[in-house]
């Protein structure tokens, strides 16, 4: 039997022929306090409670004396890291009695989540389990970690709440306990009912042992580029007094151009970066405290300046007042940069402890992820990684507030020079044994590198051993199979029952090759993608009888590894990795060869999206997920087809202007047909009654923006033909995301 995530130890007997379960639970014993605190887990058992076949008794307990009436627990098992907090044992006996035993409420929840995946109870069996990583996260935001709620389908607040509840149950079942849920910034009242909605979601998440994460800046208040300038909350500048004292420069965002060959420098030194500015820090603390009280948030992804490296040049840019407090230019000294940031983190983190209301206590219920300077990523040279890690080690030495605090890095995979894995080679040598750190993992299907539907980067999670938290920033609410795939390798990173990377990369170059093959979805192991493979198993668990159809949709693949586009907030068709809204717009500066490459890619995406829609249209079911995907594909398929037509026109028209030739008259007719089709789609869309809850327009409501972009660019092309000007004089300046 394939349980997801794969338990660390199993020994049991199932039906030889794999038929439906024969034994079901009639009687459940658990003390009332435990059953009440584990209500969400017991809810998973509802379908098991009343069945005429083969009565059995289920004993669920955290108490050793109760357990020992039926079996002797393996107490040594709970000495494994994370086992006492989240581990469990399930033991089945030949008389039909089953015992679920754990040391904690969370352990019981996870035991129940595993138990419901066992299809048959026959003879004796034992499962013993604990997670490799204490905190295991997916994201539910569409553009990287910064914007757009993927669970807003344009069907109202109550539907969105129900969808979130359903998603939280899925997270519990597959033992995901962190979600990148909202961002970017710490402002409240983002839309009507936002605070109440968040309190509802965070309370339900806590009941399932899940931390909902919100991201924002604690200093260096850059705007969220992927939100195209949208930043929730206040973006303070360094001022001598507030609200309108004189501005001044201090630290800034550190830049090292030309692949570390140019001269490093800092920018945006006035953007809220002064550690000695107590009034500004107090204002930021008050804003974050208010956000916690209004939302009950479970975790804060707290970015500072956007400096992925640590360098003396950054510290030397501090203001005179900072120099008085921390005079040493040494970046590792207590009276230098490390001590200054330790002081700042303690000021922020300490102020966020002890906030309590209703059933919420921030000392228990809030994770604090401190990020930058020096958040790193996979292609940073080894000596610069060592410098950043040494800096953070010194910061943590000087910090006093450590409980539930996670210094956070980007992907740390493979060293370039000595070809060792980075975490054991660097972090384990320098890191404190008494403090966890986190990894944030962006490397595809993340809205930044790509938006592939199914992406297997989690097979590299074994390289993150040594950390205790992974926030896997690929996919979102609409990619449940990907979320479950991630769950497998977040819980058990080396001993999956489905697939383990056999020939692990031994050096940086071979790692990078495989890494990019995964990012493009070019690396497609049969154990995962083939019929009967892991993708099929996941989709059967998620979608039942419709599982095969959904698996077929998620494995659709184009000539150059394109995939269907079921939602329009999409890297491939909207940003292409830049901060420009539609980087291939008509008044842009694309080269002819770039357009020529885009045309066949869009042809494939249009074909695959149409094929995905046809697959689901043929599925006769009232399955909620199938209906949701049908609705999305009904919106996206014609839009992707229109962008393909647009690029075809673009290439022909751009070529005529480059060659100083009169455009073919048929292009005008083609453009008019596309404009008319856009108007028709917009009219159809409005008739559906979609209405987004959140201001960034959720999942389906981005279509409105797509129709506007299509209409604008097509009409601009038409003007170019009529005026014989490549760029008409009255063009609009379309929105661009500005980071600083």
Q: Tell me, yes or no, whether 106 and 234 share the same domain.
A: no
**pLDDT score at 224:** 42
Q: Tell me, yes or no, whether 440 and 466 share the same domain.
A: yes
* Selection from 141, 113, 123 nearest residue 48 by Cα: 113
Q: Confirm if 544 and 563 have CB atoms less than 8 A apart.
A: no
CATH number at residue 42: 3.30.379
Rg (CA), the chain: 27
Q: Tell me, yes or no, whether 568 and 525 share the same domain.
A: no
**pLDDT score at 94:** 74
**pLDDT score at 226:** 42
3-state secondary structure of 20: coil
* Rounded CA separation 547/616 (Å): 11
> 102, 129, 156 — which closes off a domain?
129
The full length of the chain comes to 740
Q: Tell me, yes or no, whether 372 and 515 share the same domain.
A: yes
Q: Confirm if 77 and 128 have CB atoms less than 8 A apart.
A: yes
Q: Which two tokens stand for residue 116?
A: 């419901």
Q: Is residue 1 part of a domain?
A: no
Q: Tell me, yes or no, whether 182 and 272 share the same domain.
A: yes
Q: What is the 3-state secondary structure (H, E, C) of 553-615?
A: HHCCCCCCCCCCCCCCCCHHHHHCCCCECCCCCCCCCCCHHHHHHHHHHHHHHHHHHHHHHHH
Tell which phi-psi region holds residue 423, choosing left (phi > 0), alpha (psi between -120 and 50) or beta. alpha
- Dihedral over alpha carbons 458, 463, 464, 465 (to 10 degrees): 120
Q: Tell me, yes or no, whether 620 and 507 share the same domain.
A: no
Q: Which two tokens stand for residue 123?
A: 């003879």
The distance from CA 364 to its chain's CA centroid, rounded to whole angstroms, is: 23
Q: Tell me, yes or no, whether 600 and 478 share the same domain.
A: no
Q: Is residue 732 part of a domain?
A: no
**DSSP conformational letter for 414:** B
Q: Tell me, yes or no, whether 121 and 162 share the same domain.
A: no
> 109, 129, 149 — which closes off a domain?
129
Q: Tell me, yes or no, whether 123 and 186 share the same domain.
A: no
* Selection from 32, 177, 38 nearest residue 111 by Cα: 38
Q: Name the E strands within 421-466.
A: 438-441
Residue that has been written with the tokens 């050793």 in this structure: 64
Q: Is residue 543 part of a domain?
A: no
Q: Is residue 739 part of a domain?
A: no
Q: Tell me, yes or no, whether 636 and 523 share the same domain.
A: no
Q: Tell me, yes or no, whether 182 and 92 share the same domain.
A: no
Q: Is residue 428 part of a domain?
A: yes
CATH number at residue 179: 3.20.20.80
Strand partners, 213: 180, 299
* Rounded CA separation 355/612 (Å): 48
Which residues form the domain of 704?
563-723
Q: Is residue 731 part of a domain?
A: no
Q: Is residue 67 part of a domain?
A: yes
* Rounded CA separation 516/379 (Å): 12
For 314, the enclosing helix (H) or strand (E) is: helix 312-316
How many folded domains does the chain comprise?
3
pLDDT along the chain (740 residues), means of 10: 92 53 57 80 70 63 74 90 95 82 94 86 83 97 82 92 95 97 90 96 97 92 51 86 94 84 88 95 96 97 90 95 98 98 97 94 96 91 93 96 95 90 84 90 86 94 95 92 97 97 92 94 96 96 94 96 89 69 81 90 97 94 87 94 95 92 90 97 93 83 85 94 89 59
Q: What is the 3-state secondary structure (H, E, C) of 388-400?
A: HHHHHHHHHHHCC
Q: Cβ atoms within 10 A of the Cβ of 504, count? A: 15
* Rounded CA separation 395/393 (Å): 5
Q: Tell me, yes or no, whether 94 and 173 share the same domain.
A: no
**pLDDT score at 52:** 41
| pTM of the predicted model as reported, rounded to 2 decimal places | 0.94
Q: Is residue 558 part of a domain?
A: no
């Amino acid at each position: 039997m394939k349980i997801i995530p794969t338990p660390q130890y199993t020994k049991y007997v199932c039906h030889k022929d794999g038929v439906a379960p024969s034994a079901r639970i009639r009687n459940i014993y658990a003390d009332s306090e435990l059953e009440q605190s584990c209500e969400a887990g017991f809810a998973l058992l509802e379908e098991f409670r009343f069945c005429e076949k083969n009565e059995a008794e289920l004993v669920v307990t955290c108490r050793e004396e109760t357990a020992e009436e039926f079996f002797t627990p393996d107490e040594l098992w709970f000495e494994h890291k994370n086992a006492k907090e989240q581990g469990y044992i399930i033991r089945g006996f030949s008389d039909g009695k089953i015992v679920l035993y754990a040391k904690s409420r969370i352990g019981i929840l996870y035991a129940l989540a595993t138990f419901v995946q066992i299809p048959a109870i026959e003879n004796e069996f034992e499962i013993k389990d604990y997670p490799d990583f204490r905190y295991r996260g997916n994201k539910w935001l569409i553009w990287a970690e910064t914007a757009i709620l993927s669970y807003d389908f344009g069907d109202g607040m109550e539907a969105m709440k129900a969808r979130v509840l359903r998603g939280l149950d899925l997270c519990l079942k597959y033992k995901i306990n962190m979600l990148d849920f909202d961002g970017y910034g710490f402002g409240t009242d983002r839309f009507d009912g936002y605070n109440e909605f968040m309190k509802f979601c965070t309370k339900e998440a806590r009941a399932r042992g899940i931390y909902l994460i919100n991201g924002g800046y604690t200093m260096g208040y850059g705007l969220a580029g992927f939100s195209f300038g949208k930043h929730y909350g206040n973006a303070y500048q360094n001022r001598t007094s507030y609200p309108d004292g004189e501005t001044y420069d201090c630290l800034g965002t550190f830049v090292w151009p030309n692949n570390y060959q140019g001269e490093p420098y800092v920018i945006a030194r006035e953007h809220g970066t002064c550690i000695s500015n107590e009034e500004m820090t107090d204002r930021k603390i008050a804003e974050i405290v208010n956000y916690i009280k209004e939302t009950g948030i479970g975790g804060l992804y707290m970015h500072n300046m956007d400096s992925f490296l640590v360098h003396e040049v950054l510290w030397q840019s501090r203001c005179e007042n900072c120099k008085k407090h921390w005079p040493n230019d040494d970046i590792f000294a207590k009276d230098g940069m490390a001590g200054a940031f330790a002081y700042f983190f303690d000021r922020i983190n300490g102020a966020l402890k002890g906030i309590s209301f209703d059933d919420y206590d921030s000392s228990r219920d809030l994770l604090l992820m401190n990020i930058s300077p020096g958040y790193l990523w996979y292609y940073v040279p080894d000596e610069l990684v060592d410098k950043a890690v040494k800096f953070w080690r010194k910061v943590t030495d000087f910090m006093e507030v450590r409980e539930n605090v996670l210094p956070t890095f980007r992907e740390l995979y493979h060293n370039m020079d000595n070809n060792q894995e980075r975490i054991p080679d660097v972090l384990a040598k320098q890191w404190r044994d008494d403090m966890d750190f986190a990894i944030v993992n962006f490397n595809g299907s993340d809205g930044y590198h790509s938006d592939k539907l199914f992406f297997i980067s989690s097979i590299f999670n074994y390289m993150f051993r040594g950390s205790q938290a992974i926030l896997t920033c690929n996919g979102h609410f609409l990619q449940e199979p990907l979320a479950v795939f991630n769950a497998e390798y977040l819980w058990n990173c080396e001993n999956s029952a489905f697939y383990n990377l056999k020939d692990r990369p031994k050096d940086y170059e071979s790692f990078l090759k495989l890494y990019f093959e995964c990012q493009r979805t070019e690396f497609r192991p049969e154990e995962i993608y083939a019929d009967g493979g892991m993708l099929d198993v996941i989709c059967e668990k998620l979608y039942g009888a419709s599982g095969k159809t959904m698996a077929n949709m998620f494995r659709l693949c184009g000539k150059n590894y394109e995939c269907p586009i079921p939602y329009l907030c999409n890297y491939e068709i909207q940003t292409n990795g830049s901060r420009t809204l539609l980087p291939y717009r008509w008044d842009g500066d694309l080269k002819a060869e770039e357009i020529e490459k885009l045309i066949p890619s869009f042809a494939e995406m249009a074909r695959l999206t149409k094929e995905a829609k046809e697959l689901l249209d043929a599925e006769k079911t009232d399955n909620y997920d199938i209906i949701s995907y049908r609705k999305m594909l009904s919106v996206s398929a014609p839009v992707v087809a229109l962008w393909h037509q647009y690029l075809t026109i673009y290439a022909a028209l751009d070529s005529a202007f480059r060659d100083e030739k009169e455009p073919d008259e048929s292009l005008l007719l083609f453009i008019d047909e596309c404009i008319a089709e856009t108007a028709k789609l917009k009219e159809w869309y409005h008739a559906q009654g979609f209405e987004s809850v959140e201001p960034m327009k959720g999942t389906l409501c981005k279509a409105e923006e797509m129709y506007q972009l299509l209409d604008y660019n097509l009409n601009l092309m038409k003007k170019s033909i009529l005026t014989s000007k490549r760029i008409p004089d009255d063009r609009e300046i379309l929105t661009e995301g500005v980071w600083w």
